[in-house]
Structure 1
């Protein structure tokens, strides 16, 4: 199937490192204009510098945004609207993954942080980006979820709960806004090799998971890029309100 996202305007949260940065670079290579939304200024600058090697500087927009801060998100959307006048797709990718901890030992303050970033943040970005998309005739919201949101995994109660919430939010937004041209999909990768994952997962755990995956390896950020490019294209017009699991493949 052919798909085209050339000149589509795609906003990506958490685009300063890991999967978000890979998505920014991959979609730019497909011809999209990319808005890099990330928490840290240095990460925004590093991603923008990498993007300069694959796309025109006029096709890159950066903003430092805490997705759990409604005022910051509102201001970032307003600035993006002022610059480009529309947004065609939002990729909700920003996430926080804490160390594995049994539920009876969790720090509730840490649980609140996970929910704030991984779920409340998706509510806030959807609240402000969706009307801009509707004004432009419609758009796509791709929520990066996780297989942990559909499969129980000991030690990851907070992260799993946040991603399960993302899955339901995706369907609710579809039911509320599909007739206004908004298409929503939750994309659920398996274990993916990112700095955030490496910081909390042991080598033994990574090796054990990899042994059960096709090809004997965990996922790489680039494995997700083509899925997201397809979902941001017109070829995915009839796909909305659903969850798409991803498993790593050999290659």
Structure 2
């Protein structure tokens, strides 16, 4: 009986240990939406979170609030379209904490629906620069920082549109498909180095951006977009990101995980 009790107590204690205790987590686009929910979740589970975003007011406010809640958080102003800014983001993280255990490349933008033939080169450059090139730049520096330690986890945030075609959103769709190509190839290259790279593909999620984009159409879209008949919550995507970053997903490499209420299915 004593042995059983000790074993059970140990199991309970192990389960109650925060998944990310003293881990260093870097999150791009971490000031709002899915990135913010991810920063909050990882911080609540013991991580030191680095919130990288170009929105200084929101990023500083989040880092300040988390710190007041006795979480460990740092805001770093970052423009992921700038190689120098991305390099500085990772350098600052390494200077403060000495390593990066997990990175979430979440920063991205969408586009107004437009026919392919009417799209401008400026629209192409903007979307590809942020959604695809920004992920590539971030991964370059994050992986370089992880290689000496021989371990790490990276989660790239693509989209449901990264898995299917979508009418009148050709450039956005191309950028999000590209993120999955980067994810899969890099996953193969760096798994032998102990770095796991995966992606999540969120569907319609209740973020400020989605609310402003769809406005009064949102309730109807929420009812018809997927089999669950509702819109997703940022924390639901954050939970999937956290799992992919955690040791529980230690044998998961190169996946593109839909988090979309069954829309792709």
Corresponding residue for residue 20 of structure 2: 5
In the alignment, is residue 64 of structure 1 matched against residue 83 of structure 2? no
In the alignment, is residue 232 of structure 1 matched against residue 245 of structure 2? yes
RMSD: 1.7
In the alignment, is residue 218 of structure 1 matched against residue 231 of structure 2? yes
In the alignment, is residue 172 of structure 1 matched against residue 185 of structure 2? yes
State the Cα deviation string for residues 161-189 of structure 1 (Å, max 9, x = none). 10100001001101111111110111001
Distance 1:111 1:206, change over 3 A: farther
In the alignment, is residue 135 of structure 1 matched against residue 145 of structure 2? no
Distance 1:14 1:180, change over 3 A: same
Corresponding residue for residue 55 of structure 1: 70
| Structure 1 residue 224, shift from structure 2 partner | 0.9
Structure 2: runs of 5 or more not aligned: 1-14
Give the Cα separation in 1 of the matches to 2:23 and 2:261.
27
Match of 1:35 among 30, 44, 50: 50
| Structure 1 residue 157, shift from structure 2 partner | 1.2
Corresponding residue for residue 9 of structure 2: none
Aligned residue pair count: 246
Corresponding residue for residue 152 of structure 1: 165
Structure 1 stretch displaced more, 190-199 or 9-18: 190-199
Give the Cα separation in 1 of the matches to 2:83 and 2:242.
27
The 8 Å contact of residues 100 and 200 in structure 1, kept in 2 or not, is answered as no
Partner SS state of residue 99, structure 2: coil
Corresponding residue for residue 195 of structure 2: 182
Distance 1:28 1:203, change over 3 A: same
In the alignment, is residue 20 of structure 1 matched against residue 35 of structure 2? yes
Distance 1:247 1:156, change over 3 A: same
The 8 Å contact of residues 133 and 139 in structure 1, kept in 2 or not, is answered as yes
Corresponding residue for residue 246 of structure 1: 259
Partner SS state of residue 155, structure 2: strand
| Structure 1 residue 18, shift from structure 2 partner | 1.3
Give the Cα separation in 2 of the matches to 1:240 and 1:227.
14
| Structure 1 residue 240, shift from structure 2 partner | 0.6
Give the Cα separation in 2 of the matches to 1:206 and 1:126.
36
The 8 Å contact of residues 204 and 225 in structure 2, kept in 1 or not, is answered as no
Partner SS state of residue 20, structure 2: coil
Match of 2:93 among 77, 80, 98: 80
Corresponding residue for residue 119 of structure 1: 132
Q: TM-score, normalised by structure 1?
A: 0.92
State the Cα deviation string for residues 19-75 of structure 1 (Å, max 9, x = none). 11111111111111100000121122121133234433xx21210010110111111
The 8 Å contact of residues 211 and 218 in structure 2, kept in 1 or not, is answered as no
Which of 1 and 2 has greater Rg?
A: 2
Give the Cα separation in 2 of the matches to 1:32 and 1:173.
25
Structure 1: runs of 5 or more not aligned: none
Q: TM-score, normalised by structure 2?
A: 0.87
The 8 Å contact of residues 188 and 245 in structure 1, kept in 2 or not, is answered as yes
